[in-house]
Amino acid sequence: MEKEKKVKVKSVKLEPVFNTFEAALKTWWQNIKKIVLVYLWGLVYALIPMAVVAVLLGVGFWLGDRAGMGFRVSAVIIAATGFIISLYFLIRSYMGIFLLVKHDYKGLEKKIYAETKEMFWPYIGLVLLTTVFIILWTMLLIIPGIIYSVFYSFACYALFFEDKRGMAAIRRSSQLVTGYFWPVFGRFMFIGLVIWIFSMLISIPGSFTADSSFASSLWGGLVQVLNFLVGPMVLIYTYSIYTQLVKIKK
């Protein structure tokens, strides 16, 4: 009787990290204009409640001690509401980048931004759910928190690209990472290192300006804009890893 030979199936490897990074950087640069335009739609809507808050603060400054308690309480409530509304529109800007990638960088930016409205609460719910789970794992020990943050890292991609919501998106993300934890973890460490080096380099000129000076404030604002624009590049890089895992796990 012949012995059955056990054939060990060789696991498919992810693309080299430098290839993934280079392709993501190229895609990001080629579509930077559309990325900025999607962002701008959210910023335009966010500026409206910001303007209301600014006017309110100006009135309060002008009134000074003459402002009564009723005005102050109302001002705090309105300012808090304005901040929340502005945050709502800005979060949708980031969500718009997911949809821009989904549409292969085609279509009108305003229409793409408008599509984020119906996805807002599923997105927020998923972010909150994954955050709670990661916090709970972290409360046990730091290491489990790190491990499961990697396993849950593709949950939002499962939401936008596979229409999986809540626990279904989290389970899908875990299923994709299973068997590829270390390659995925290594790729996240790589992009984290790249962003850290980038942040350090663009912060250097600011160290030569005087604190609280106009030049310091101007450079600080520029750094914030650059960091804001780098976010989509990281999203595109992560999406590339996600698509590789989807193909492997078919």
Residue range(s) defining the domain that contains residue 118: 32-248
Asked if residue 6 belongs to a domain, the reply is no
Q: How many domains would you assign to the chain?
A: 1
Range with the poorest average pLDDT among 89-98, 117-126, 133-142: 133-142
Is pLDDT of 190 > 90? yes
Exposed, middle or buried: residue 149 (CB in 10 Å: 0-12, 13-18, 19+)? Answer: middle
DSSP H helices in the chain: 17-30, 32-63, 69-102, 109-140, 142-151, 155-162, 167-177, 181-203, 214-248
Asked if residue 63 belongs to a domain, the reply is yes
Is pLDDT of 114 > 90? yes
DSSP, res 39: H
Q: Under a CB-based contact definition with an 8 Å cutoff, are residues 50 and 86 in contact? A: yes
High-pLDDT (> 90) share of the chain, %:
60
Asked if residue 120 belongs to a domain, the reply is yes
pLDDT of residue 141: 80
Long-range Cβ contact pairs of 73-82 (< 8 A, separation 24 or more): 78/52, 78/53, 79/53, 81/49, 82/49, 82/50, 82/52, 82/53, 82/56
Exposed, middle or buried: residue 34 (CB in 10 Å: 0-12, 13-18, 19+)? Answer: buried
Asked if residue 26 belongs to a domain, the reply is no
CA distance linking residue 77 with residue 183, whole number of Å: 48
Asked if residue 131 belongs to a domain, the reply is yes
CA distance linking residue 109 with residue 54, whole number of Å: 28
Asked if residue 154 belongs to a domain, the reply is yes
Asked if residue 18 belongs to a domain, the reply is no
Asked if residue 3 belongs to a domain, the reply is no
Is pLDDT of 64 > 70? no
Neighbours of 186 (CB within 10 A): 11
